[in-house]
């Protein structure tokens, strides 16, 4: 079965994309399997300058998931262009650059630097990271600010712009509509849910950053619900993400209205999860009576 | 580095809350001293990173302590085991006449294979092990059986030198210019302050275990970040800010 998906800027041979922050820049996973198997890769967030990120501990386990408070650690966009993108150019897969920053200007600076990089096929605007004090989620929880940064990014970008939204909001649809009106080419749903764990031995928060972003199977129902709501309300494609561990989960996201998906925390649990899903997906689609990806998309509300 | 369904051959308590598990697996043929594996412990989400204590032809031995719900669950496991590894950079085996291995508590296990490799090279191996009390001591006889000189310290003085591994080193007038060490952070700090050459192995909360998630980073002396799981867990003494 042909499971390719065509989205703005992205010719995906299959709808499976490792999620940003869960796959680095691919080098470690390339020791395990051929990255060309993947539909695409959402590479780790780029900011204008190097960021060390938050103090440790940055990781805490939760029931069916985990909290992380990495804090957008990266070497900065210039280093990424020099040291990471040439490696990714060796593979036949579509690279999405996740763009982050502390200010609106930071996002624009990163986009302008990446515009000349042919290996980058689209941008994923990260206005939803819960682990940074400035930028990140502050931009993604207010429709006006979300629209403003989207518009600025579209003006600066020479490639399609997807906006990755935060689930930590009262009304996800209003934010999705605002970024669509501002010119977004697609929406990625959802980033992590803000959470906390307390260490009973000390009575204090377990993460040094106090709060972290919840990911893993625990958040899948929230992601499905938001994809279901948003995909009916906008006319741009939605990429679903949140708690995917198997091909059946992918079909659930397609039914909810996603055109493609990103796989996040499960890469830490099963490093081969993406190729496994890619192999299983046609069989699962067939089992539920679909002869194409398109037939499955949005069935929940069509 | 591979993921495989291995077989648990034994899983038994060897000291208070300390368990030894022997695992039949293919990755035994790739493993080096000081490396670790990540173990799936249903129903928990993340894998557990556990250092490799001993490497045999078709099996590895791990020694772990009950520290939380995951390791508690591990004590009940038998049969199949989903493991991923070997991971990280272990102890480089260098050409030395004499090496001192310094281990504390659950940091002792990776030193066992390290001792075996040094002895195989004809190096004299002194082993200094620190524990809380007499009840929690393990592997004293095993290191002796390999042919190491073994010195023990207990915090409460119930066995061997009273105090830390540093006290045991002073009490026994052990002189060295090269140590390999693994144990709790305060012990590693003392080792790093006392000795100029050798290696230390760090512990960290991890997610991926393979260098992708940046969950377990530390800083080096120049302020650059290093991943405990991928660039370590073993680092040259003096490299990392502890």
Chain A environment of B212 (Cβ under 8 Å): 22-24, 28-29, 267-268
Q: Is B61 on the interface with A (CB under 8 A)?
A: no
A66 with B208: Cβ contact below 8 A: no
Distances (CA, A) of B108 to A42, A212, B120, B169: 40, 32, 19, 16
Q: Give residue A194's pLDDT.
A: 96
Q: Architecture of B202-242 per CATH? A: Ribbon (2.10)
Res A135 pLDDT > 80: no
- B84 contact A CB<8A: yes
| pLDDT value of residue A119 | 98
Whether A66 has its CB under 8 Å from any CB of chain B: the answer is yes
* Nearest Cα to Cα of residue A164 among A195, A134, A194, A185: A185
pLDDT digits (tens, 9 = 90+) for A59-106: 999 999 999 999 999 999 999 999 999 999 999 999 999 999 999 999
| Paired tokens of B104 | 């504390």
A58–B205 CB contact, under 8 Å: yes
pLDDT of residue B11: 98
Would you call A267 and B208 a contact, using CB atoms and an 8 Å cutoff? yes
Query: How much is the pLDDT for A251?
Result: 98
Residue B46: list chain A partners with CB under 8 A: 59, 61, 66, 268-269
- Residue A61 near chain B (CB below 8 Å): yes
Tokens 């993400």 identify what position? A241
Give the nearest partner residue to A271 out of B3, B46, B219, using CB atoms.
B3
CB contact under 8 A, A24 and B46: no
Per DSSP bridges, beta strands B124-131 and B2-15 are unpaired
Q: Are A28 and B218 in contact (CB < 8 Å)?
A: no
Q: Which of residues 260-289 of A touch B (CB under 8 A)?
A: 265, 267-272
Q: How confident is the model at residue A131 (pLDDT cuts 50, 70, 90)?
A: confident
Average pLDDT, rounded, for chain B: 96
Reported as a single tens digit per residue, the pLDDT across B138-176 is 999 999 999 999 999 999 999 999 999 999 999 999 998
Distance from C-alpha of A6 to C-alpha of B12, rounded to nearest angstrom: 54
**CA gap A45, B28 in Å, rounded:** 36
pLDDT in tens, A259-279: 999 999 999 999 999 999 999
Write down the pLDDT at residue A127. Answer: 93
Res A140: pLDDT: 86
A23 contacts in chain B (CB < 8 Å): 212
Which among A14, A38, A88, A20 has a CA at the least distance from the CA of A275? Answer: A38
Q: To which residue do tokens 């939760």 refer?
A: A62
Q: How many CA atoms lie within 13 A of B88 on its CB side?
A: 29
CB contact at 8 A, B86 and B29 = no
Burial label for B112, CB within 10 Å (0-12, 13-18, 19+), is buried
Tell if the CB–CB gap between B46 and A268 is shorter than 8 Å: yes
What mean pLDDT do residues A146-151 have?
Answer: 96
Task: Give contacts of A271 with chain B, Cβ < 8 Å.
Answer: 3, 84, 208, 210
**A65 and B CB contact within 8 Å:** yes
pLDDT per residue as tens digits for the range A41-57? 999 999 999 999 999 99
3-state secondary structure (DSSP) of residue A298: coil
Segment A137-160 mean pLDDT: 93
| Mean pLDDT of the region B65-84 | 96
CATH superfamily label, B2-87: Translation factors (2.40.30.10)
- A152 contacts: CB under 8 Å, gap ≥ 6: A104, A107, A108
A59–B219: do the CB atoms touch at under 8 Å?
Answer: no
B205 at interface of A, judged by CB pairs closer than 8 A? yes
Of B3, B45, B223, the CB nearest to A65: B45
In this predicted structure, what is the pLDDT of residue A277?
98
CB atoms within 10 A of CB A288: 12
Residue entry with tokens 């279901």? A228
A123 CB within 8 Å of a chain B CB? no
Q: What topology is assigned to A5-52+70-198+214-296 in CATH?
A: TIM Barrel (3.20.20)
Instruction: Please give, rounded to a whole number of angstroms, the shortest distance from the CA of B142 to a CA of chain A.
Output: 34
Sign of the alpha-carbon dihedral angle for A205, A207, A212, A218:
negative
Distance spanning both ends of chain A, measured CA to CA: 23
Residue B52 CA to residue B49 CA, distance in Å, equals 10
- State in words which class domain B98-201 has: alpha beta
Does residue B43 have a cis bond before it (omega within 30 degrees)? yes
The domain spans of chain B are: 2-87, 98-201, 202-242
Contact A68 B207 (CB under 8 A): yes
Q: Shortest CB distance from A66 goes to which of B46, B209, B214?
A: B46
Query: Do A167 and A241 contact (CB within 8 A), yes or no?
Result: no
Chain B residues whose beta carbon lies within 8 Å of the beta carbon of residue A60:
205
Q: Domain spans of chain A?
A: 5-52+70-198+214-296
pLDDT digits (tens, 9 = 90+) for B81-108: 999 999 999 999 999 999 999 999 999 9
Per-residue pLDDT band for A137 (boundaries 50, 70, 90) equals confident
pLDDT above 90: residue A280? yes
For chain A, the average pLDDT equals 96
Best CA proximity match to A68, nearest among A155, A138, A148, A131? A131
Contacts of B21 (CB under 8 A, 6+ apart): B8, B10, B11, B61, B62, B63, B64, B74, B77
Reported as a single tens digit per residue, the pLDDT across A185-236 is 999 999 999 999 999 999 999 999 999 999 999 999 999 999 999 999 999 9
% of chain B residues with pLDDT over 70:
100
CA B126 to chain centre: 16
Judged by CB atoms closer than 8 Å, whether chains meet at B211 and A21 is answered as no
Name the residue in chain B with its Cα closest to that of A72. Answer: B214
Give yes or no for residue A118 having a pLDDT over 90.
yes
Q: What angle do CA A229, A233, A234 make, to 5 degrees?
A: 125
Q: Which residues of A are catalytic?
A: 129
pLDDT at B239 over 80: yes
């Amino acid at each position: 079965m042909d499971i390719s998906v065509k989205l703005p800027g992205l010719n995906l041979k299959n709808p499976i994309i490792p999620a940003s922050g869960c796959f680095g820049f691919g080098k470690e996973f390339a020791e395990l399997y051929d990255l060309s198997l993947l539909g695409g890769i959402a590479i780790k967030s780029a900011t204008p300058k190097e960021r060390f990120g938050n103090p440790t501990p940055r990781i805490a386990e939760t029931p069916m998931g985990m909290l992380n408070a990495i804090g957008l650690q990266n070497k900065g966009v210039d280093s990424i262009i020099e040291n990471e993108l040439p490696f990714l150019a060796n593979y036949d897969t579509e690279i999405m650059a996740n763009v982050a920053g502390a200010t609106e200007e930071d996002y624009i600076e990163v986009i302008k630097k990446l515009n000349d990089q042919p290996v980058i096929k689209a941008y994923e605007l990260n206005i939803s990271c819960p682990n940074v004090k400035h930028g990140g989620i502050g931009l993604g929880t207010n429709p006006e600010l979300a629209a403003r940064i989207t518009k600025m990014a579209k003006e600066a970008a020479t490639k399609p712009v997807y906006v990755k939204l935060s689930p930590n909001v009262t009304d996800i649809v209003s934010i999705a509509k605002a970024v669509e009106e501002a010119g977004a080419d697609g929406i990625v749903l959802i980033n992590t849910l803000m959470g906390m764990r307390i260490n009973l031995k000390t009575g204090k928060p377990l993460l040094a950053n106090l709060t972290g972003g919840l990911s893993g199977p625990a958040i899948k129902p929230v992601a499905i619900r938001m994809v279901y709501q948003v995909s009916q309300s906008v006319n741009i494609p939605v990429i679903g993400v949140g708690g995917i561990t198997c091909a059946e989960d992918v079909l659930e996201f397609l039914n909810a209205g996603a055109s493609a998906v990103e796989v996040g925390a499960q890469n830490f649990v099963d490093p081969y999860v993406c190729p496994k899903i890619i192999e299983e997906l046609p069989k699962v689609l067939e089992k539920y009576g679909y002869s194409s990806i398109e037939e499955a998309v949005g069935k929940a509300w069509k | 580095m591979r993921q495989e369904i291995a077989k648990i051959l034994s899983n038994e308590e060897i000291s208070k809350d300390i368990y030894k598990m022997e695992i039949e697996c293919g990755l035994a043929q790739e493993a080096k001293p000081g490396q670790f594996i990540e173990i799936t412990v249903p129903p928990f989400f993340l894998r557990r990173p556990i250092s490799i204590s001993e490497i045999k032809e078709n099996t590895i031995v791990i020694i772990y302590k009950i520290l939380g719900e995951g390791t508690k669950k591990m004590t009940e496991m038998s049969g199949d085991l989903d493991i991923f590894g070997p991971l990280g950079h272990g102890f480089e085996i260098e050409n030395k006449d004499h090496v001192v291995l310094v281990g504390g508590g659950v940091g002792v296990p990776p030193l066992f294979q390290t001792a075996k490799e040094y002895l195989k090279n004809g190096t004299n191996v002194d082993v200094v092990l620190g524990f809380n009390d007499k009840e929690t001591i393990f592997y004293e006889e095993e290191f002796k059986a390999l042919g190491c000189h073994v010195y023990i310290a207990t915090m409460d003085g119930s066995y061997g030198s009273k105090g830390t591994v540093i006290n045991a080193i002073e009490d026994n007038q052990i002189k060295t210019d090269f140590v390999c060490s693994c144990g709790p952070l305060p012990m590693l700090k003392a080792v790093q302050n006392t000795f100029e050459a050798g290696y230390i192995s760090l512990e960290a909360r991890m997610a991926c275990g393979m260098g992708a998630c940046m969950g377990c980073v530390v800083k080096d002396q120049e302020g650059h970040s290093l991943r405990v799981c991928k660039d370590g867990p073993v680092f040259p003494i003096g490299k990392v800010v502890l």
